[in-house]
Structure 1
Amino acid sequence: MDRGFTARTAAGAAVIVLGMTGCAATGGSGEVGSTRDAVSVVASTTILGSVAGQVTACGGGEVQTLMPVGADPHDYAPSSADVAAMVEASLVITNGLGLEEGLASALGTAEEDGATVLEVGPAVDPQPLSGATGSTDPHVWLDVSRMATAATLIGDELATVTGDATYAACGAQVATTLTETDAQVRAILDAVPAASRVLVTDHDAFGYFSRAYDFTVIGVVIPGGSTLAQPSSSELAGLAETVRRAGVEAIFANTANSTALVDGLAHEVGTRVSVVELYVGSLGAAGSGADTYQTMMLADAHLIADALADQGSP
């Protein structure tokens, strides 16, 4: 993996910090942190934890994220402590659309016990999963503009459940920073020529990304939108042939999963193909340069641009 993006995302991180500082100064009560003891939010994924955390901290509340960094949201199994945290929270924020497969039963139990749950995915114009009849693609966060909408929704819902309008203002301000990040992502990806704007990924997660940023997904290693399926040998052989015909020089894997299948595909192709790990279902660890949602998306944009910008050059 190209680690050069860390310095390149420093400016974006500075914008985020400055934005949150400005937001914290606008508390409706005039005293930042005045609602800290009363307002607690539980988020399912690290990505939602980052965005919801920015909104909530701005208004003086706190966020607990259920999944640790590096967890695959498709197969995370909650603990009894997770269920208790959801029941006690002012608001539980999930992606929905079937993403948190292992969390469904626990979420149902928490709701029965009085938890208020906001599913972000259904509220940000979800789209069908490519090639999967009747299925909706849950990977909405890979389009930054949709997460800007999500920040507004989170702020509005927090304002409703707490009665504190500060949170609505905070959601709007975080949405503004995300709109700025979306523009930065587009600028980074502008380096990729039109003929090279094709993606082969480990699973079908990049539908929203490809539509938002003008790419075409020509193949996925694991069929369907989950990481829990397994490809057949004939599917892998067919994908290898697709990669050869298209002259693809990079296959994108996922930091939250083993790269064994992707490595196997690269070997099967038999030509010069690099495997590039992206942050897909989870943020990076502290200090990785991808430890907030904004820096994660900037890091991925740099990794994709670096891998594809010179594709096809002699």
Structure 2
Amino acid sequence: MTHSPSVPALVRGRRRALMPGALGLTALLTLSACGAGPDGGTSPEGAEATSSAPQGEVVAVATTTQLGSVLGQITDCVGTGSVAVMGPGDDPHDFSASSQQVAQMAGAEMVFANGLGLEAGLEAALSNAAADGATILEVAPELDPLPFTAVDGHDDHAGETAEEHAEHADEAEGDAHDGHDHGPLDPHVWMDAGRMAQAAEVMGEDLAQQTGEPRYADCGGEVKADLAEVDQQVAQILAEIPEDRRTLVTDHAAYNYLAEAYGLEVSGVVIPGGSTDAEPSSQELAALVDQIRDSGADALLTSVGAGSSTVQAVAQEVGDVPVVELYESGIGPAGSGAETYAEAMVFNARALADALT
């Protein structure tokens, strides 16, 4: 499934000019003071979109649970509402929206999408929302995205600056595995809490420009500071992992940002490409098992609830490499301890540190 940008209103890789929303919902909103903490915001449950405020007060929609959680902190701070289209357990690579969710996107002032080819199943819905007058913003292109490499997250370019990473983008496009569903840039930006802190600022500023309410920018700055603290907490937890226990194999190429931000190395990927809907050949699996043994990989990462038989087969074949389940595809359901983006990132750090120390 190769992504091709088919939505004229979405500008890939740069901020698009803001346009008035279709319904002017801000006239309906009652605004209150800021006060959300780092764990505040939306915690969607199930496939249907869920809101952080009463029905009729929704000012913005996010596609993924991670963006929805951060957006929920911002709108809660201002006293308005937001919706996350996806819920816990939804895979953003193959998610498709219900008619109700399509209507929610079309009726919102703004829709925040991850972009960079992540939400291929939502292209038609986003196109319809843009045609109805909603402003669409792709967040990932705003966050200095990393290039895909032949083995994503591998320390081939460790220590590079963002500018040096950008210089390798063309090279990465040529080296990318044929099974990649995304373009030359990696869409999995949420695996770096520092980048999501930047996302909060971007979203707050754009909501302020769109609605004319400056408190969105102020609250975006507050959430940015909260998530910067989360970033530091994650870094401190992962710093406990010994230097000789930091080599990972992942279920799919979604952990480049985690590795780059927190000093880890990915030596192999089970499922080819940046999506979860590809399958490796028997030859690729055999080569990966050999690579894991040769590199001395310390853990095999997979997404909570993925239940990949391929991942389990690789782990069984290798024998002594633990399988660590992280909240990668989305935040967790109620009672999981990972119900917000901030909680999910701390959960992930602790799970990984516990497995490797």
Q: Does 1:278 align with 2:346?
A: no
Residue of 217, 240, 252 corresponding to 1:191: 240
TM-superposition CA deviations, 1:103-156 (whole Å, max 9, x none): 112111211111111110010111111225262100001111100000001111
Change beyond 3 A, Cα 1:167–1:159: same
TM-superposition CA deviations, 1:50-104 (whole Å, max 9, x none): 0000001111111111112111100001122221111111111110000111011
Q: Does 1:104 align with 2:152?
A: no
* Alpha-carbon distance in 2 for matches of 1:18, 1:117: 26
Q: Does 1:293 align with 2:312?
A: no
Give the C-alpha shift of residue 263 in structure 1: 0.3
TM-score in terms of structure 1 length: 0.85
- Is residue 298–residue 322 contact of structure 2 (8 Å, CA) maintained in 1? yes
Task: Provide structure 2 residue ranges, at least 5 long, that are not aligned to the other structure.
Answer: 1-34, 41-51, 151-171, 174-182
- Is residue 156–residue 167 contact of structure 1 (8 Å, CA) maintained in 2? yes
Specify the SS of the correspondent of 1:203.
coil
* Alpha-carbon distance in 2 for matches of 1:275, 1:300: 13
Query: Which segments of structure 1 move beyond 3 Å, counting only runs of 4 or more?
Result: 16-21, 35-39
Give the C-alpha shift of residue 39 in structure 1: 4.8
Number of aligned residues: 282
Q: Does 1:68 align with 2:117?
A: no
* Alpha-carbon distance in 2 for matches of 1:106, 1:193: 46
Task: Provide structure 1 residue ranges, at least 5 long, that are not aligned to the other structure.
Answer: 1-15, 22-32, 310-314
Could you tell me the percent identity over the aligned residues?
Answer: 48
Alignment match, 1:125? 144
- Is residue 253–residue 272 contact of structure 2 (8 Å, CA) maintained in 1? yes
* Alpha-carbon distance in 2 for matches of 1:268, 1:284: 29
Give the C-alpha shift of residue 18 in structure 1: 4.5
RMSD: 2.1
Specify the SS of the correspondent of 1:103.
helix
Residue of 101, 109, 112 corresponding to 1:93: 112
Aligned residue identity for 1:222: I
TM-superposition CA deviations, 1:2-39 (whole Å, max 9, x none): xxxxxxxxxxxxxx964689xxxxxxxxxxx9x99555
Alignment match, 1:268? 317
Residue of 296, 300, 323 corresponding to 1:247: 296
- Is residue 42–residue 86 contact of structure 1 (8 Å, CA) maintained in 2? yes
Aligned residue identity for 1:55: I
Alignment match, 2:286? 237
Aligned residue identity for 2:197: A
* Alpha-carbon distance in 2 for matches of 1:68, 1:58: 22
Specify the SS of the correspondent of 2:270.
strand
Aligned residue identity for 2:265: T
Specify the SS of the correspondent of 2:241.
coil
Change beyond 3 A, Cα 1:65–1:99: same
Specify the SS of the correspondent of 2:251.
strand
